[in-house]
Homo-oligomer: A and B are copies of this chain.
Amino acid sequence: MNFLEERIIKDGIVKEGNVLKVDSFLNHQMDIALIEEIGREFKRRFADKNVTKVLTIEASGIGIAAFVAKEFGVPMVFAKKSKSLNIAGEMYEAEVESFTHKNKNKVIVSKRFLNENDRLLIIDDFLANGCALQGLISIAQEAGAKIEGLGIVIEKGFQYGGQAIRNMGYQLESLAIVESMDAEKGTIVFREQ
């Protein structure tokens, strides 16, 4: 097990309905030393890539993506959830469905911050059905930017999101892939990587 899998076993809580709560260290309270280690691990996994910008989506991706961007020495851009009408042409837009909240959000990135010269590393905390990542990929494509890779902290390997994105030909690195969870026993099985 790597450092993240060990931490999930130690502090993650498995709930009914395939819910894995990691809010004590990742996406509500953040253990900054762990987040820094996550940043270094993504740098290691994408060391050969010429990344010019890290792209993520609010809210829980931001803290992680910031430390990844620090490792690469590049700016970070986060897509915003928007309910407001935006002036046509100013923003890249995508629609994203939330697994957790069972709603749809329009997410936007200003055209001033992404263009065809960018080589992106896309970062998020969770990958389940892949809607958030698909939204970010769509925005990157609209911008004409090159996607160098995608980095996820925790992937739910029993949902189809990760496979769909790997099938598109992208290098998708998930630091922990959960194969199965048992809420009653509190057990988690990770995919061997």
Contact = CB atoms under 8 A, between A and B. Distances in A.
Contacts of A109: 28
A178 interface: no
A110 interface: yes
Nearest to A113: B29
Contacts of A36: 70
Given A62-B59, A63-B66, A70-B36, A101 B78 contact: no
How many protomers of this protein does the assembly include?
2
A51 interface: no
Interface size class of A (residues with CB under 8 A): 20 to 34
A100 to B, nearest CB: 9
B84 A35 contact: no
Contacts of A59: 58-59, 62, 78, 80-81
Contact of A66 (B66, B74, B80, B83): B66
Given A59-B59, A59-B78, A66 B110 contact: no
Nearest to A108: B28
Contacts of A23: 110, 113
Contacts of A101: 83-84
Interface of A: 23-24, 28-32, 35-36, 58-60, 62-63, 66-67, 69-70, 73-78, 80-81, 83-84, 101, 103, 109-110, 112-113
